[in-house]
Amino acid sequence: MIYGHNSGHSYIKDFISENVSEYPRLEGTEWEGYHLLGHKKKGDLGELIVTNKMQEFGYKVTPPKMYNDTWDKRIDGFETEIKLSVGATKDDKFMINHVKTKLSWERFIFYGANIVKPSRFVWCTKEDMEKCWEETDLWKRQEGDDDKMLTGANVIKWINSPFCRDITTWKTPKKRINLEHFM
C-alpha cells in the first residue's frame, strides 16, 4: 500500500484551503497576489519600492556588498533597513516584523502600502528606534530581546510619534519633541 496518496477526498487540501487567507480588496490592484509571495520576496519587493521612490526623490541608492547583509540599501551614504507592509484587509492595518537594533543599520524606512488611502512612507534613526523601545511599549518582543515587532494600532501610533519622521525629512530630520506631546 502506498501511503500519502489518496484518489478521493483530500483532508490535506481541505485543511490548506480552510486556512489560506484571501484578500479580495487586493484583487484588480497592483497588489493582487502579494500574499502569495514568500517572506524574502516580500522583503525584496519592499526594497524595490523604496529604491525606486528614493531615486525619484534624487537620492543615491546602492545595494550592500552581499545579499541578505545586516542592512538592505545604502541611501545617500546611510546604511538603511527597509520594511514593507500592505494593508491587505484594511488601510493602515500593518505589521512590522523582525526589527533588530543590534544589526549595523543607521536608518530604518517603513513603507506601508494602502489600497485607498495614501501609503505611509516614514523613517527613523537607530537612536530613535532604541529610544522608542525604552520609552514606550509600542514594540513587542518577537524572537529575542533585540527582535521586535509592531502591529495593529501601534503602527500608526509609532508613525505619529516623535520617534518617526516623514520621508520628506530624509535630508533635514525634524527635531525630536518631548514624549508627553505624543501621549
Residue pLDDT tens, the chain, 183 long: 455 555 566 888 888 878 878 888 999 999 999 999 999 999 999 999 999 999 999 999 999 888 777 899 999 999 999 999 999 999 999 999 999 988 899 999 999 999 999 999 999 999 999 999 999 999 999 988 889 999 999 999 999 999 999 999 999 765 555 554 444
Q: Distance (Å, rounded) from C-alpha 173 to C-alpha 167? A: 9
DSSP code of residue 34: G
Q: In the prediction, which pLDDT does 2 show?
A: 55
Q: Collect all residues with Cβ–Cβ distance below 8 Å to 168 and sequence separation of at least 6.
A: none
Pairing of strands 107-113, 78-86: parallel
**Locus of grid cell 485543511:** 15
Q: In the prediction, which pLDDT does 20 show?
A: 78
Read off the pTM. Answer: 0.85
Q: In the prediction, which pLDDT does 173 show?
A: 62
Give residue-wise pLDDT tens across range 149-167.
Answer: 999 999 999 999 999 999 9
Start-to-end CA distance of the chain, whole Å, equals 66
Q: In the prediction, which pLDDT does 182 show?
A: 47
**Locus of grid cell 520628506:** 168
